[in-house]
Structure 1
Amino acid sequence: MPSYTVTVTTGSQWFAGTDDYIYITLVGSKGCSEKNLLDKPFYNDFERGAVDSYDITVAEDIGDIQLIKINKHKYWYKDDWYCRHITVKTPAGDYLEFPCYRWISNDKEIDLREGTAKLVTHDVTQIHKQHRRKELEDRQKQYRWKEWHPGFPLSIDAHCHSDLPHDIQFDSEKGVDFILNYTKAMENLFVNSFMHMFQSSWNDFADFERIFVRISNTISEYFIQHWKEDFMFGYQFLNGCNPVEITKCTKIPENFPVTQEMVELCLERKLTLQQEIELGNIFIVDYKLLDGISANKTDPCTMQYIAAPICLLYKNLENKIMPIAIQLNQTPGPENPIFLPSDAEYDWLLAKIWVRSSDFHVHQTVTHLLRTHLLTEVFAIGMFRQLPAVHPVFKLLIPHVRFTIAINTKAREQLICECGLFDKAMGMESKEDIPYYFFRDDGMKVWDATLNFAKDVVDVYYDSDKTVCEDSELQAFVKDVYVYGLRDNEGSGFPKMIKTKEKLIEYLTLVMFTASGQHAAVNFGQYDWCSWIPNSPPTMRCPPPTNKGEVTIEYIIESLPDRGRSCWHLGAVWALSQFQDNELFLGLYPDEHFVEKRVKKAMAKFRKNLEDIISFIQERNKNKKLPYYYLSPDRIPNSVAV
């Protein structure tokens, strides 16, 4: 009688093992095996991290294996089991791999397909077609769209982390509880001693240094010594936490009436402002997005203020980006002066602080939250709803959305909800010729490596543009993202359908890069650049100055966050800058969703390209006082998980 060897691998995360009864049925093209109990006498099967093998004998030839069915029945209490994968050795000596990578609950049957990726058009048997259809029907019941807040992209329909499908929950809620992490941060940073003075002001800039006694950080320590310098102010637009706002200035905006006379002392080439613009030496950062935004009113005892500044920057003869003019609000006029480097020291310093505060708000709400966290969640939900596990795009993207829905749900629970941690700290509701723009330069290297990887994988499964167009599941995924996730917003720039391989490769690259490189670049430097409160104030307690020559050091200190909000802020940026204990970095795919040799070869090539980027960045950073490493692939997690 034909005999098969079934090898089962249990996950290594917490509580992955089970004492329940596990049954397997082999479904072949000619028939099915009996329902076999997987059990070794006097042996504890399915322990966490275990690899267990079993021999199964069938009465007659069942043909080619189509599916395997897994059943779990309760032994004595609720005991979910995490199955990584199952391997079946056939009587002919062939090895078939069945990826699982999911939790199996009590009395739940799941069907697994052999791991070779298949497009919907590749399935010819009725059993495979039915399995594919049933999987998506079940997923669409689990993964439902919901409006969390008007104007935001749609998110998962779940009130809290425990409401999520088990497969996308964190392995341990404790590790990603923002309240617990914040408390841990406060202990590590030794700032609890300030909390009894919650609403009191600091005495001077040196007073802020007292909260840095426990953490050694090369960048923040260097930054404290140089934060007032114009060079350091300009440098952050290139390589700080929010390196995406700076653009080339082709014309001075009408609502920003900077004149030649105002800036001529800063123009080192002795050219006119217009000539410098034409040469590409003038840049601009405009926070008009904040115009009209209401300040945070959750604390009735403290007034808070928002500005919408415009900042003009100049590439000088040393190729440094220097600020040359700042207007703190969008409407010009006598009470909205343009501040200049030639103004009184504290006038100019406070103008720069206001820009940094505005940059912090845009970074947290738009660059970080909206354009990495929420956008990646949209792709994740669309993927689960429209792509079965056997689809190559599902297999490609699943590592890059790991824990993203979970971290966003946690954030909506504890961080960005009304009276969440953000409310306690914050005060609001084209390639360019720029030197030393490491975010851009390193980002392009990581983008190209990711694009080449996506191309290699797409080439395995799509032989033509016609194949792309005919992939109904792919098109349903793209449409679901656009119509529901992005709310049919043409301004989003995303397509409603994809017609060519080239566009598919670009689309997949964008998803993977956003979840990995882009998030890493704008998240993990938060402690480096935002821990020094005067450089990135999360709120301002006095209104922007309306006249020059009246700002004092006392006014600046009174404008900055009080001791309590500074502590909330410091704890938050420290906690958000930490990697997870079980972090998986770019190019590392221990969950083997793909079994094809061509894809595994593409993965190896991807890792080699990433290693070359790591070596390049390490060499460039040698002896730098301000090393840039946020886009080094060994510091880029695969997914948005913090």
Structure 2
Amino acid sequence: MLQEIDFPVKDTLGDIVEVKLEKSSSEWFCRHIEVKTPSGKCFMFPCYRWIDGNEVIIREGSAQLPQDDTELFKKQREKDLESRRKIYRWIQKRPGFPRSLDAELKDLPLDVQFDKGKESDFDGNFRKVIDEAGLDKLLSFFQSWKDITDYEKIFRAIYIKDTTLENMIQDWSTDYMFGYQFLNGCNPVMIRKCVKLPEKFPVTHEMVKGFLQRGLTLQEEIEKGNIYIVDYEILDGLPANKTKKSQFYLTAPICLLYNNRLNQIVPIAIQLSQTPGEKSPIFLPDDNEYDWMLAKMWVKSSDFNVHQLVTHLLKTHLISEVFEVAMYRQLSTVHPVYKLLTPHVRFTIAINAEAREKLISDDGVFSRISSISGKGMEQLLGRATKTLTLKSLCFPETIKVREMEKAPKYYYRDDGMMIWKAINSFVSDVIEIYYDSDEKVQQDVEIQGFVKDVSIFGMQDSKGDKFPQSLNTRAELTEYLTAVIFNASAQHAAVNFGQFDWFGWIPNSPSTMRQPPPQQKGETDLKFIMDSLPDRGCSSEVLGTTWALSQFQENERYLGMYPDMCFTEPAVKEAIKRFRKTLDEVTDSIKRRNKELTMDYCYLSPNKIPNSVAV
């Protein structure tokens, strides 16, 4: 609500550098304050905070580095940060997880809570799909489905026209669709070029020669760069989940894939464990139909679990919260980097608190639908966190490490590179406005405190081997902030909003398996497959969960949209305009490309990338 107040004064006040607000009764949210003098001069004071009875001092909107402030303002900044550090405290809520904010969902600070519209949207989406499909009224809730086509029953009531979903359901059992998902599905980060077959996966040329189309040996195909591999070693030995109704099973498969003459990535060999031998056969495309189908299901079930807990939860949600908590603890609200990052951490602490309460708690949804036990989740997150580095959050580096620069039809890579470059250019423009030398970065005590807090406390990297504890150049700061923004926006969009497309059709990516993996060939039939797949109750919860997580919110703020104008300087406003223009060009480029494709790839189209991890 806009409110105008006149303050008559006798003397000329000069430039107004701060205003003080105090509210003694109920909380209210202040977007910004605009002060106009009788002479026509205007001063802007961005706030975008809750006023809850305490005194709040709001600085004039120009961003300031701490070393450029007056002594009075330096003391004021430090006092404000000391106060915030008491509110935003670190805690490690579960072993193996990165640290997070020490607060439950109901006790979150006002400034990081959901607004009412956001809260109702998220809570309603899960119930919508459950209610419309009548999933909670299904008879024999914990029984197996009789046939794969029975899964269509839970789609009829909620079916929404979706080209990707239509194509996937039609072709889900084909080798082409199986391979395509490693490039452009929900978890496009596991596949890598195979430069040498691991000893634990003894695939021979004789096994696969019938599937190689160029007349080359397997070794020659490897040398030509046509062989890829997906290895779920990170799951090896983790304890499987067990509920009151079901014993679930978990394994750590390895899959070899081949780039055929049609530039399709297709599977040519699957081993369902990390230990070769008589009880761990290598399944091949010319095995009987049900052996090969079940082997692929086991791979995709493992992929579902790694996606949800590592690719999605850890590498977008939890890491973004680490940066957000450190931002509140170490950066003044007038710091340009605080202003830059604020739109990209919106609602992240709140959504993570909700996830801890409803999804990954001991009795949460994921604990009911996943193959991994609660203890296994902690072990998996611990293993994955040990591999997490700042470089692993830099998109170009992730493509390079997996040697996927030339993989065909890898739209996730192509679009991701365009988005990374756009964000990097924008961040560089902003950094250049406020830092005219590398020395300015080194002298910035708040930035140095921010990266040190992330490393030592958030990621518990005491030596700074994985996450730096200081930054020395503008280029280092630019890459660091690009990684923060990219993973909170683009990377989260890429691995989140396709969940209903790829996981909603249960046989394509079973969240769990209810029978142990086969140890011999020729013993699998359709009944065994149906007894292995999630039962009716589990399928229903997967459907509701993936639907809710795949929905955009009302009044979503997409990449480049900054309605809360924290920056007031014209130079930054021009940088934002250039950023948005570049993003529009990327969107148009993706639209042109997609017109030539049977299946659109839209997850990294800027007009479908929310600014932050908020669902």
Note whether the superposition's TM-score is higher than 0.5: yes
The letter for the 1-side match of 2:289 is E
Q: What's 1:530 paired with?
A: 503
Distance 1:525 1:286 in 2: 22
Q: What's 1:593 paired with?
A: 566
The answer to whether 1:553 aligns with 2:519 is no
Relative contact order, higher structure (CA 8 A, sep 6+): 2
Q: What's 1:582 paired with?
A: 555
CA gap of 1:418–1:174, structure 2 versus 1, over 3 A, is farther
Distance 1:600 1:188 in 2: 45
The letter for the 1-side match of 2:597 is K
Q: Deviations over 1:397-439 (max 9, x none)?
A: 0000000000001111111100101112112131431111000
Q: Deviations over 1:577-636 (max 9, x none)?
A: 001113100000000100000100000000000000111111111153311000000100
- The answer (yes or no) to whether the contact 1:247–1:432 under 8 Å persists in 2 is no
> Per-residue deviation at 1:52?
2.2
CA gap of 1:467–1:71, structure 2 versus 1, over 3 A, is same
The letter for the 1-side match of 2:476 is K
> Per-residue deviation at 1:496?
1.4
- The answer (yes or no) to whether the contact 1:178–1:410 under 8 Å persists in 2 is no
Q: What's 1:305 paired with?
A: 249
Q: Deviations over 1:88-124 (max 9, x none)?
A: 1234432111001011113x21100001000001102
1:151-190 residue pairs with structure 2 within 5 A? 151-159=96-104, 161-172=105-116, 175=119, 180-190=124-134
- The answer (yes or no) to whether the contact 1:177–1:410 under 8 Å persists in 2 is no
CA gap of 1:131–1:115, structure 2 versus 1, over 3 A, is same
Distance 2:365 2:124 in 1: 12
Q: What's 2:324 paired with?
A: 380
- The answer (yes or no) to whether the contact 2:331–2:446 under 8 Å persists in 1 is yes
Q: What's 2:236 paired with?
A: 291
Unaligned runs of 5+ in 1: 1-49
> Per-residue deviation at 1:521?
0.3
> Per-residue deviation at 1:181?
3.6
SS of match in other structure, 1:280: coil
SS of match in other structure, 1:87: strand
Distance 1:638 1:254 in 2: 43
Q: Deviations over 1:528-583 (max 9, x none)?
A: 01111011111100000000111111111110000000001110000100011131
Q: What's 1:60 paired with?
A: 11
The answer to whether 1:70 aligns with 2:21 is yes
Unaligned runs of 5+ in 2: 374-399
1:489-504 residue pairs with structure 2 within 5 A? 493-504=466-477
- The answer (yes or no) to whether the contact 2:371–2:512 under 8 Å persists in 1 is yes
CA gap of 1:596–1:174, structure 2 versus 1, over 3 A, is closer
The letter for the 1-side match of 2:19 is I
Q: What's 1:102 paired with?
A: 49
Distance 2:530 2:300 in 1: 15
Structure ranking higher in helix proportion: 2
The letter for the 1-side match of 2:50 is W
Q: What's 2:390 paired with?
A: none
> Per-residue deviation at 1:193?
3.0
Distance 2:335 2:493 in 1: 27
RMSD of the alignment, in Å? 1.5
- The answer (yes or no) to whether the contact 1:378–1:485 under 8 Å persists in 2 is yes
The answer to whether 1:282 aligns with 2:233 is no
> Per-residue deviation at 1:125?
4.3
Distance 1:593 1:134 in 2: 21
Q: What's 1:42 paired with?
A: none
Distance 2:148 2:132 in 1: 22
The letter for the 2-side match of 1:504 is L
Q: Deviations over 1:447-477 (max 9, x none)?
A: 1000000000000001111111111100000
The number of aligned residues is 584
CA gap of 1:51–1:419, structure 2 versus 1, over 3 A, is same
The answer to whether 1:149 aligns with 2:94 is yes
Q: What's 1:8 paired with?
A: none
Q: What's 2:603 paired with?
A: 630
Q: What's 2:393 paired with?
A: none
- The answer (yes or no) to whether the contact 1:404–1:639 under 8 Å persists in 2 is yes
Q: What's 2:57 paired with?
A: 111
The answer to whether 1:192 aligns with 2:123 is no
SS of match in other structure, 1:97: strand
The letter for the 2-side match of 1:512 is I
CA gap of 1:402–1:346, structure 2 versus 1, over 3 A, is same
- The answer (yes or no) to whether the contact 1:189–1:211 under 8 Å persists in 2 is yes
> Per-residue deviation at 1:191?
2.4
Structure ranking higher in strand proportion: 1
Q: What's 2:277 paired with?
A: 333
Distance 2:319 2:240 in 1: 25
TM-score by length of 1: 0.89
Distance 1:65 1:582 in 2: 34
SS of match in other structure, 2:229: strand
SS of match in other structure, 2:6: strand
Distance 1:618 1:499 in 2: 40
- The answer (yes or no) to whether the contact 2:318–2:352 under 8 Å persists in 1 is yes
> Per-residue deviation at 1:71?
1.5
- The answer (yes or no) to whether the contact 1:189–1:571 under 8 Å persists in 2 is no
- The answer (yes or no) to whether the contact 2:92–2:98 under 8 Å persists in 1 is yes
- The answer (yes or no) to whether the contact 2:456–2:464 under 8 Å persists in 1 is no
1:463-478 residue pairs with structure 2 within 5 A? 463-478=436-451
Distance 1:420 1:547 in 2: 35
> Per-residue deviation at 1:51?
2.0
Distance 1:119 1:101 in 2: 20
